[in-house]
Amino acid sequence: MTIKSFSIDYNAVNAKNTFTNGDHLTGQITVDVSKKTKIRSITLLAKGKTTVRWTENYGKYTVVYYASEKYFKIEHNILTDCDICPGRHVFPFTFQIPDRNMPSTFKAQRGSIVYSLQAKLSRSIKIPKKANKMFTFISKADIDLFLYYVTTSNKKVVFFASGNITMNIHTERMGYQQGDALKVTADVTNSSTRTVKPIFYLYEKKSFFAQGKRRVDTQNLFKEKGESVASSTRQTVTRFIPIPEELPPTILNCQILKLEYRLKVVLDIALTRNPQIKLPIVVLPATPALLQQPPLYTLNHQMDGPAAKLLEANLLNSTHL
């Protein structure tokens, strides 16, 4: 075999081995040949792309829904029309990741956001050899997502069950970095004859869009029961919900795939429908600079006005999930 091996690899720029907007990615293409070989070309292809795909059954028929979204496609010629001697040859390369708004790497059952490198070796009258390598891209938190990091959130529900029950939910902010703790406070006023108990959930919502259809998947990430609130009493219940360091950042900048998070607080009341409150939670990539910013805004879901509506627009379009 003339071509003994053909591979591509890249050099890490940080401990997490991730890249972001505008980074320069360097690496090397390695080819090992057993004898003198004429190479027509060695090319490098770097690209970023989202694809979604799922099926739905309609009686005897199965419909496949598919869509894709491309962010960049960069091609470089590394070597052209050259004879190489027997042995191992290393060809370095470098390219800059476009400094534009692109979603972070993500993978799910019905869709994925992938950033990849491909090396291609071509010879005359031979099938080209290819080597592939994926890299992890983490999008910089833009100014829109930064607003969520410095915005507090409140929501209130009033419910009747043998007397009025009021629950007000408050979070210090809507945006949290990976590894943060989400502090949520539930103020419960129980004027009914029943004992009630708040239950706290954090769940993810994945939305996929193709051919005019939408597919939504949800999954609970955290669940914990709070203290019971006895009849004719008022109590404040506080919980700290951990945001795992490995939790993927929120994705709102993709037309065909969205990843969102919700805080849900359910008031458990015996023998009746349980009222609930949902608040949007934005997970941001861990960025030290964000920690230096104090809370600037308050978003009260009972308030009405252009500022509140603008801030909520991206996250509260589907309040039923």
CB 69 within 8 A of CB 50: yes
The DSSP H or E segment spanning 146 is helix 143-149
Who has greater pLDDT, 140 or 54? 54
Q: Does 318 have pLDDT greater than 60?
A: no
Coil, strand, or helix at residue 305?
coil
Domains 3-137 and 143-312 share a fold: yes
Class assignment of domain 143-312? Answer: mainly beta
Residue 317, token pair as written in the block? 């379009």
Domain boundaries, the chain: 3-137, 143-312
Distances (CA, A) of 141 to 32, 223, 242, 288: 42, 28, 20, 12
Coil, strand, or helix at residue 148?
helix
309 phi/psi in degrees, rounded to 5: -65, -40
Instruction: Report the candidate in 167, 174, 194 with the shortest Cα–Cα distance to residue 262.
Output: 174
Tokens 């998070």: give the residue: 261
Tokens 């955290």: give the residue: 222
Q: Does 241 have pLDDT greater than 70?
A: yes
Architecture of the domain spanning 3-137: Sandwich (2.60)
Distance CA 265, CA 281 (A): 13
Single-letter code of the amino acid located at 182: L
In DSSP terms, which residues pair with 168 in a beta bridge? 156, 187
- With pLDDT > 90 as the criterion, what percentage of the chain qualifies? 67
Residues 160-175: pLDDT tens digits?
667 888 889 998 888 8
Residues 12-23: pLDDT tens digits?
999 989 999 999
Residue 310: burial class (beta carbons within 10 Å; 0-12, 13-18, 19+): exposed
Tokens 């009630």: give the residue: 196
Give the global pTM: 0.82
Residues 66-95: pLDDT tens digits?
999 999 999 999 999 999 999 999 999 999
